[in-house]
């Protein structure tokens, strides 16, 4: 079991680039910036280790994943503190740093235990045909800064279970968190099965176009996902892309506003709104519009924001200045466009850290930038509608389709709307609730490919038919 100082010392390069705490501006540690040559070495080592790893078989690899989960749990406090200091999220309160570290262990165990037997396609007098799933080789995993540890495990766990080796490239904003996680995992995994290569865009591009990489998994912006597709084209690397969201929620007229307000709030403001599948635009029927707005304000007033190491806080800062400026600019657009700020919208000018207050903006038209663009932060636009057909049209009107939600008391009515919303996942009376057993992925410009569950295992494997 490592202390925070032990873990930080293991991943910090004193001569590297400084990483700052987004809550205070203080230095957390320093990270070595890898070169493309170092990336080449990591890919070569992973490729050399892959046949032996694949040869262990599912049962033995699953044992290793359970050992990896044990290691995460044994080092949970140190990992959570490193994550909080680098990413900004509170350590314990709400679904934040301790939650994220715990989810890493949950996903490792789940992927270890999913059954994956050959599928019998034909078995009659003509013969027998079976569909098997075999390793691809080396997986390149490129992760984001919002849930850096958890999303890395989403990519790594399934890939390792299926017999691939993995080279991880973390976000430039949160490399220490991922370095810490992989340091812990590599204490129990065989040598060279899992590598991490921190660096900038040049390293990410080199990984996505590397001829020694058989699959790229990427979570991040649509623009970067498109660039990865272009880079991977020549080598025909397979892709799983989980891209931008801007998820819509539709509130039907039969809801109890007080009963849903808490879940609505956390659907939108989990991780201070910095979640791909967070609720980012809320369409509310005119019959309950004022009541829903009032109930949400009541919940927001009870949610303290501040430094994640201070026990009372449940919301932290935005992770970086660039994202802070995006959120601030979109809220200003909303004000100029006639939006009514119910709470927030006025950050303290001299406060240290990238804290933008929890903000609810009502009475916006559907084409306002705060509605039409993904804010990825603590600002939720609330749009009134009178006809559910209009709500469905507006919800489907953007070229995104990661998640969506419907809120209502009548299960049949909610299901009817859910079936018409264009998204990879539609939740009813909740939003953003992912489960390692349930496949997850987007449509439209929110990407393609599935993660989680047995389908997630298949996505990091090659299909192989054996007929006799």
User: Active-site residues: which are they?
Assistant: 242, 276
What single-letter DSSP state applies at residue 79? H
Same domain as 406, residue 286: yes
Helices 148-161 and 57-74 meet at what angle, rounded to 10?
160
- Shared domain check, 238 and 311: no
- Residues contacting 236, CB < 8 A, separation 6+: none
Domain harbouring 10, CATH code: 3.40.605.10
Same domain, 347 and 206: no
Q: What's the number of domains the chain is made of? A: 2
Whether residue 161 is found in the same domain as residue 275: no
Task: Determine the Cα–Cα distance for residues 267 and 217; give it in Å rounded to an integer.
Answer: 25
- Is 46 contained in some domain? yes
Q: Does one domain contain both 33 and 173? A: yes
Asked if residue 44 and residue 191 are part of one domain, the reply reads: yes
Beta carbons within 8 Å of 196's beta carbon, 6+ residues apart = 167, 168, 169, 170, 178, 179, 182
* Domain that includes residue 15, residue range: 4-243+446-467
User: Could you tell me if 352 and 376 lie in one domain?
Assistant: yes
- DSSP helix/strand/coil, 139: strand
Alpha-carbon dihedral sign for residues 323, 326, 329, 330:
negative
The reply to whether 437 falls in a domain is no
Please tell me whether residues 194 and 95 are part of one structural domain.
yes
Question: pLDDT at position 93, please?
Answer: 74
Residue 390: per-residue pLDDT: 98
- Please tell me the predicted confidence (pLDDT) of residue 214: 98
The torsion of the CA quartet 150, 156, 157, 159, rounded to 10 degrees, works out to 150
pLDDT tens per residue, range 219-248: 999 999 999 999 898 899 999 999 989 999
Q: Is residue 173 located within the same domain as residue 236?
A: yes
Predicted confidence at residue 326, as pLDDT, reads 98
Instruction: Give the pLDDT confidence of 393-408 residue by residue, as tens digits.
Output: 999 999 999 999 999 9
Which segments in the chain show pLDDT lower than 50?
none
pTM: predicted TM-score of the whole model, two decimal places: 0.96
450 in the same domain as 423: no
- Specify the CATH number for the domain of residue 311: 3.40.309.10
Comparing C-alpha atoms, which of 136, 134, 131, 135 is closest to residue 118? Answer: 131
- List the beta bridge partners of residue 282: 249, 382
Is residue 438 included in any domain, yes or no? no
Tell me the Ramachandran region of residue 220: left when phi exceeds 0, alpha when psi lies from -120 to 50, beta otherwise: left
The reply to whether 215 and 332 lie within a common domain is no
């Amino acid at each position: 079991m490592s202390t925070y100082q032990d873990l930080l010392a293991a991943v910090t390069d004193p001569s590297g680039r400084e990483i700052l705490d987004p809550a205070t501006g203080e230095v957390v540690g320093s990270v070595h910036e890898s070169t493309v040559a170092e990336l080449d070495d990591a890919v070569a080592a992973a490729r050399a280790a892959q046949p032996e790893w694949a040869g262990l078989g599912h049962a033995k690899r699953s044992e290793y994943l359970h050992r990896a989960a044990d290691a995460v749990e044994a080092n949970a406090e140190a990992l959570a503190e490193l994550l909080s200091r680098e990413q900004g999220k509170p350590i314990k309160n709400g679904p934040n740093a301790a939650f994220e570290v715990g989810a890493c262990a949950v996903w490792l165990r789940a992927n270890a235990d999913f059954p994956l037997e050959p599928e019998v396609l034909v078995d009659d007098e003509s013969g027998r045909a079976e569909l098997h799933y075999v390793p691809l080789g080396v997986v390149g995993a490129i992760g984001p800064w919002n849930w850096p540890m958890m999303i890395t495990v989403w990519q790594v766990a399934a890939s390792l279970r299926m017999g691939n080796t993995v080279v991880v490239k973390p976000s430039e904003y949160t490399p220490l968190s991922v370095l810490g996680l992989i340091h812990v995992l590599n204490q129990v995994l065989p040598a060279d099965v899992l590598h991490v290569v921190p660096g900038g865009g040049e390293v990410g591009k080199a990984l996505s176009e590397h001829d020694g990489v058989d699959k790229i998994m990427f979570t991040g912006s649509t623009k970067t996902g498109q660039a990865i597709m272009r880079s991977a084209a020549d080598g025909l690397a397979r892709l799983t892309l989980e891209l931008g969201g801007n998820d819509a929620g539709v509130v039907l007229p039969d809801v109890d506003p007080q009963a849903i307000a808490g879940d609505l709030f956390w659907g939108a403001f989990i991780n201070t709104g910095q979640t791909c599948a967070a609720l980012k635009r809320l369409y509310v029927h005119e019959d309950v519009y004022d009541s829903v707005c009032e109930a949400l304000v009541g919940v927001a007033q009870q949610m303290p924001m501040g430094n994640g190491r201070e026990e009372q806080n449940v919301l932290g800062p935005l992770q970086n200045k660039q994202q802070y400026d995006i959120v601030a600019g979109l809220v200003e657009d909303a004000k100029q466009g006639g939006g009514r700020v119910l709470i927030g919208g006025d950050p303290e000018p001299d406060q240290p850290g990238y804290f933008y207050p929890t903000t609810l903006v009502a009475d916006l038209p559907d084409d306002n930038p705060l509605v039409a663009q993904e804010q990825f932060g603590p600002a939720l636009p609330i749009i009134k509608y009178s006809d559910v057909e209009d709500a469905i049209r507006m919800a489907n009107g953007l070229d995104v389709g990661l998640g969506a939600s419907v809120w209502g008391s009548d299960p049949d009515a909610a299901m009817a709307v859910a079936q018409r919303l264009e998204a990879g996942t539609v939740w009813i009376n909740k939003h953003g609730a992912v489960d390692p057993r349930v496949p997850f992925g987007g449509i439209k410009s929110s990407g393609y490919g599935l993660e989680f569950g047995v389908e997630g295992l298949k996505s990091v494997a090659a299909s192989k038919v054996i007929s006799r």
